[in-house]
Amino acid sequence: VQCALSQWDKEPHEALDNYWKPIGIMGVDRDGDPVIWDRIGQGHVPSLLRLGERWPVKHEIFVQECFMASLERSRQQHPQGGGGYQFTVIIDLDGLNASHADRHGLAMYKVLTRIGADHYPEIVKRIIVVRAPWIFPLIWRIVQTFMDKGTVEKVKIVGDKDAYRAVSQCVSEEQIPKALGGRKVLDGDDWCGSVVP
């Protein structure tokens, strides 16, 4: 696993992260499993679409392989169990807008979602969706059809007032970015942008 990603040219993938999907692995949940922080609301759908289909698919495979390597590293750090088998995913929808509802963008998102579901199954323990704007119910009605039923059942959508409480039930305050009410700040950035773009 340590060599699995060495064949990839990481620079273009890391450059794309700022546009699609701003995502990072930081900290662990209360069970000792890694936490994925997904800021899809900050993603720039028009930029993604300009890339065509091939490059985003390659990028999604790269991201999923990074996730798998992170899980393996976590398992190696905890050989007696207690972590590294599934992720807690926190999705911050702040910034989600009508461009995210573009039919071509949703079609691309379906392709990318199926890569994870079909080739990297059951690595998600729970998904907590926070700061959903007005357009989210429309997008969610479409997006949940792309997902397996078991994954949809793992999704918990919470309102702004309940966001910190919902996240802190699974992740300690020290590991929650300050932008979501926690204490974690990196390089003066409340969203820990050096890890979660």
pLDDT (tens digit per residue) in 145-170: 999 999 999 999 998 899 999 999 99
User: How far is the C-alpha of 34 from the C-alpha of 16, rounded, in Å?
Assistant: 22
Specify burial of residue 160 (Cβ count, 10 A radius: 0-12, 13-18, 19+). exposed
Secondary structure tally for the chain: helices H, strands E: 7, 5
Q: Which amino acid is at 29?
A: D
Q: Which of 22-26, 47-51, 78-82, 104-108 has the lowest mean pLDDT?
A: 78-82
Amino acid 163: pLDDT: 94
Whole-model pTM? 0.90
User: How far is the C-alpha of 91 from the C-alpha of 129, rounded, in Å?
Assistant: 5
Residue 1: band (very low, low, confident or very high) from pLDDT cuts 50, 70, 90: very low
- DSSP β-bridge partners for residue 92: 130
β-pairing verdict for 23-28 and 34-38: antiparallel
Task: Report pLDDT digits (tens) over 69-91.
Answer: 888 888 888 766 666 689 999 99
